[in-house]
Amino acid sequence: MLDTAKALIKSAGKKLGLSSAQIDQLLAIDKEHQFEIKLDDGKVLPAYRVQHNNQRGPYKGGIRFHHEIDFDEVRALAILMTMKTAALDLPLGGAKGGVVVNPRELNDAALEQISREYVRYLKDHIGPTKDIPAPDVNTNPVIIDWMVDEYSVLTGDKTRASFTGKSVEKGGSLGRNAATGRGGAIALNALLKHNGIAEKELTYAVQGFGNVGSFFATVAAVDHPNWKLVATTDSNGGVYNPLGLDPKKLAEFKDKGGRFVEYKGEKQISNEELIGLDVDILVLAALGDAVTEANDKHVKAKYIIELANGPVNESAYSHLNKRGVIILPDIIANAGGVVVSYLEWVQNTKHEHWSEDKVNTELNKYMTKAMNELTKITEENKVSLTEAAFMLAIKRLLEV
């Protein structure tokens, strides 16, 4: 993922006429923190925070708990955050954090210990005007609430603006849970509208029916009933029905902790089969590197929307691009979460609490503006949406 992120930035930088020194400066990481968290049972967990760039504002980026995360992946995700906040014109920079752990193997007491230790280590480097972490894969408002509490105890901060993605009772924003999925639906609709097919009957498949994938599908079911969900998966496999699946029913099943391999009444499908389905739109909402040179030839969809970070690797991107597959890039497609995180931070710093409607209206404005700019750059420069998104972000970074 790091190679892909760097390659995309280099290519967009060259299109903008930047020198190698300017491109190196864009890729340079401000600060890296690497440490260990020791659990009561003696386990030692590697932990990271990478602060890539704060030229446009405080560092911003999630903290991921995952057994397979490594330092390079955190670096890539931090760089992508800088690009994302710049592309969306938010006054924020880019960072990312991670702890190498499988949270499913731990009880709540251990998770709380990890969350508090993480903050204790980083307390001097984070905060409302320095670096504002948020949830990511396998982290959630409960974990963030522990982190905010620890930060407040250690520093006396009362604003709760030190983290976003808190529970609503502890200063979180309404609409944050659904924001990334909703933002993805807004972005995709803008693109389909631009291409004159927004009102057509379209089929789509979602890889990864977690927070992002499930909200994308449930929001789409209400706002775009002409988009038909025909397949979706979790890490073990999924369900397929060419006549259409009910996103709400599937979301309720997942909310109860269900796994699709146990889902009754629909045909089962593997993750690889989902990638090769003959659908109009492939929604990638699981993890990075889901489509690579090993499986890109199976893709039949005309559109891919990258709701996960870096789900299409560099060579797959190049093959798919040549084949005319339209890829809506992650740094814009999945930016809904960071937009509402920013809105949460604004509410905290102003001591306000906005209605969900107001939050969704603001989200719509940010996503629509970014999509308008994206399609304009694509057409003016005859480049792919991915190149255009990075060009947009880089231009903004150079303006500072």
User: Which residues does the annotation mark as catalytic?
Assistant: 96
128 binds ligand NAD (CB under 6 A): no
233 binds ligand NAD (CB under 6 A): yes
Beta bridge partners, 131, equal: 59, 127
| Pairwise CA distance, residues 98 & 70, whole Å | 8
User: Looking at 116-124, 219-227, 231-239, 388-396, which segment touches ligand NAD (CB under 6 A)?
Assistant: 231-239
Dihedral over Cα of 250, 252, 258, 262: its sign: negative
φ, ψ of residue 185 to 5 degrees: the values are -65, -40
287-306 residues in contact with ligand NAD (CB under 6 A) are 287
212 binds ligand NAD (CB under 6 A): yes
331 vs 383, beta carbon nearer ligand NAD = 331
307 binds ligand NAD (CB under 6 A): yes
Among 1, 88, 137, 367, binds ligand NAD (CB under 6 A): 137
13 vs 182, beta carbon nearer ligand NAD = 182
207 binds ligand NAD (CB under 6 A): yes
Q: E-assigned strands of the chain? A: 31-38, 44-53, 59-65, 94-99, 131-135, 202-207, 227-234, 237-240, 267-269, 281-284, 303-306, 326-328
138 binds ligand NAD (CB under 6 A): yes
Q: How far is the CB of 149 from ligand NAD (least distance, A)?
A: 21
Residue 236 has which token pair?
């073990």
Residue 115 has which token pair?
């969350």
Site string for ligand NAD, 316-335 (x = CB under 6 A): ------------------x-
13 vs 61, beta carbon nearer ligand NAD = 61
Q: How far is the CB of 151 from ligand NAD (least distance, A)?
A: 20
208 binds ligand NAD (CB under 6 A): yes
Alpha-carbon distances of 172 from 133, 136, 145, 382, rounded to whole Å: 13, 15, 9, 41
Among 73, 117, 131, 136, binds ligand NAD (CB under 6 A): 136
- 76 near 2, Cβ under 8 Å? yes
Q: How far is CA 231 from the centre of its chain?
A: 21
User: Looking at 17-25, 203-211, 220-228, 320-328, which segment touches ligand NAD (CB under 6 A)?
Assistant: 203-211
| Pairwise CA distance, residues 97 & 84, whole Å | 16
Residue 152 has which token pair?
């407040």
97 binds ligand NAD (CB under 6 A): no
Contact positions vs ligand NAD (CB under 6 A):
136-138, 180, 207-213, 233-235, 271, 285-287, 307-309, 334, 337
